[in-house]
């Protein structure tokens, strides 16, 4: 066995409490009975848990997937009708969806939040669903000239994302997976990615529910039309996130006015689920919740991108408090990862960003519902066990001397 790292001194805050730094977490893992780095990504996840929970003995005993559901104005570009959103919400409420199966299999709690599903009637309610809604119709079609959300709905949904994280943290949940449910929301995510990158719609748009052929062409046209309209109105920057890079390409910060613009982009072009998820992520990074957020696939990662664009001052904390679940099979996934990387690099060193933008899995999934996040949570339980239960060389009486 290689020699372990020497025990490091424990950093302390002003109150005398242990402050777990990246160096301290790594030294803790180096003293475990294994060759350095031999558990690969498991060690990275253990380190992340130690940093988020601020302890060398992290636990993953309380876990939760929060599934946000809503309709939106781009449902017509999907392969399936808008009514499937409410039918799938009922299926989830009855326990028959993929996310129900995965959560049951791994002992994960599931919280379903209806933010604006077009239900059969205003009085329709499902016992297993939290109905938090100001609208029965979801968001408006941004191609028609009005923002997807008015100020009241936008503010309400942003606040609800924060409250969802606060409630989970108050219940002692250590890991929250986030997901979404809504016909047309891959189109919304594609619009938002096009706005953020300045790339044409055919680069930011994927098949979603299985849109192919002429219907895919029409989906790309719808995505481009939405972006072009709000670009012409001055809401979407001409070249996306990089609209200011010609003059300050080496800058490590984004001005507050630019951050405010991204909030308006999200209100004009986004949907209820992405908005709620973006503020949930921001809340995890800016409170003392010590909750790790597992970000599912393409749509959820777009929410992560907008959390970073709207709140650039806390990007390092957002990176620390999030874990990317998987590489979605959606076509624009690589562009999205590249964009997340470029935004993070303005605030963090390259090695940390590379580690963060390497999702846990690459399983060919594109379902949504938080399904990828649910698969990752058991791996985090294993990572916590390594950090907490695995013996050190000294405690186990294992020699660290190398052979000559």
Structure tokens at 237: 């920057």
Of all residues in the chain, the percent with pLDDT exceeding 90 is: 80
How far apart CA 44 and CA 133 sit, in angstroms, is 38
Q: How confident is the model at residue 38 (pLDDT cuts 50, 70, 90)?
A: very high
Burial of 273 (0-12, 13-18, 19+ CB in 10 A): buried
Q: Is the pLDDT of residue 269 over 60?
A: yes
Q: Which of 265, 269, 268, 257 is nearest to 240 (CA)?
A: 265
CATH topology of domain 65-239+261-386: Rossmann fold (3.40.50)
Between CA 397 and CA 238 the distance in angstroms is 63
251 pLDDT higher than 60:
no
Residues annotated catalytic, as ranges: 369
Listed in sequence order, the residues at least 6 apart from 115 whose beta carbon sits closer than 8 Å to its beta carbon are: 68, 69, 70, 132, 133, 138, 157, 160, 272, 273, 276
Q: What is the mean pLDDT of the chain?
A: 90
DSSP 238-307: TTGGGGGHHHHTT-----HHHHHHHHHHHHHH--HHHHHHHHHHHHHHHSS---EEEE-SHHHHHHHHHH
Instruction: Give me Rg for the CA atoms of the chain.
Output: 22
What digits encode the pLDDT tens for the residues 90-125? Answer: 999 999 999 999 999 999 999 999 999 999 887 789
Among 27-31, 334-338, 354-358, where is mean pLDDT lowest? 27-31
* Arithmetic mean of pLDDT, 229-233: 96
Q: What is the average pLDDT across 189-213?
A: 94
Do the beta carbons of residue 195 and residue 230 sit within 8 Å?
yes
Question: Measured between alpha carbons, how far is 245 from 79 in angstroms, rounded to an integer?
Answer: 38
The reported pTM is 0.91
Neighbours of 402 (CB within 10 A): 8
231-257 mean pLDDT: 63
| pLDDT at residue 195, as a whole number | 96
Q: Which residues pair with 267 in a beta bridge?
A: none
Statement: residue 163 has pLDDT above 50: yes
């Amino acid at each position: 066995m290689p020699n372990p790292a020497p025990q490091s001194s424990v950093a302390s805050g002003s109150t005398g409490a242990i402050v777990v730094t990246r160096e301290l977490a790594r030294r803790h893992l180096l003293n475990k009975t294994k060759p350095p780095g031999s558990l690969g990504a498991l060690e990275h996840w253990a380190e992340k848990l130690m940093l988020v929970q601020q302890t060398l003995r992290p636990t993953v005993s309380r876990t939760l997937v929060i599934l946000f559901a809503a309709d939106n104005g781009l449902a017509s570009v999907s392969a399936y009708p808008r009514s499937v959103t409410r039918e799938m919400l009922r299926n989830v409420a009855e326990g028959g969806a993929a996310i129900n199966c995965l959560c049951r299999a791994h002992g994960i709690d599931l919280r379903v939040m209806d933010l604006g599903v077009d239900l059969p009637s205003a009085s329709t309610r499902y016992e297993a669903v939290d109905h938090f809604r100001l609208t029965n119709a979801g968001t408006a079609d941004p191609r028609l000239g009005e923002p997807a959300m008015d100020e009241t709905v936008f503010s309400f949904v942003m606040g609800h994302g924060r409250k969802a994280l606060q409630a989970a943290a108050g219940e002692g949940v250590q890991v929250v997976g986030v997901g979404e449910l809504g016909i047309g929301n891959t189109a919304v995510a594609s619009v938002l990615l096009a706005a953020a990158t300045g790339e044409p719609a055919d680069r930011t748009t994927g098949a979603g529910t299985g849109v192919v052929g002429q219907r895919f062409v029409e989906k790309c046209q719808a995505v481009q039309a939405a972006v072009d309209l709000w670009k012409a109105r001055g809401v979407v920057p001409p070249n996306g996130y990089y609209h200011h890079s010609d003059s300050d390409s080496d800058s490590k910060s984004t001005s507050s006015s630019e951050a405010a613009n991204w909030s308006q982009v999200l209100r004009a072009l986004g949907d209820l689920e992405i908005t709620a998820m973006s503020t949930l992520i921001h809340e995890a990074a800016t409170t003392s919740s010590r909750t790790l957020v597992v970000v599912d696939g393409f749509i959820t990662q777009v929410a992560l991108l907008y959390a970073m664009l709207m709140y650039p001052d806390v990007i390092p904390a957002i990176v620390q408090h999030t874990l990317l679940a998987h590489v979605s099979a959606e076509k624009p996934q690589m562009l999205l990862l590249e964009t997340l990387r470029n935004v993070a690099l303005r605030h963090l060193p390259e090695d940390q960003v590379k580690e963060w933008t390497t999702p846990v899995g690459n399983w060919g999934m594109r379902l949504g519902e938080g399904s990828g996040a649910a698969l990752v949570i058991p791996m985090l339980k294993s990572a916590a066990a390594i950090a907490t239960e695995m013996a050190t060389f000294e405690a186990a009486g294992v020699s660290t001397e190398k052979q000559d």
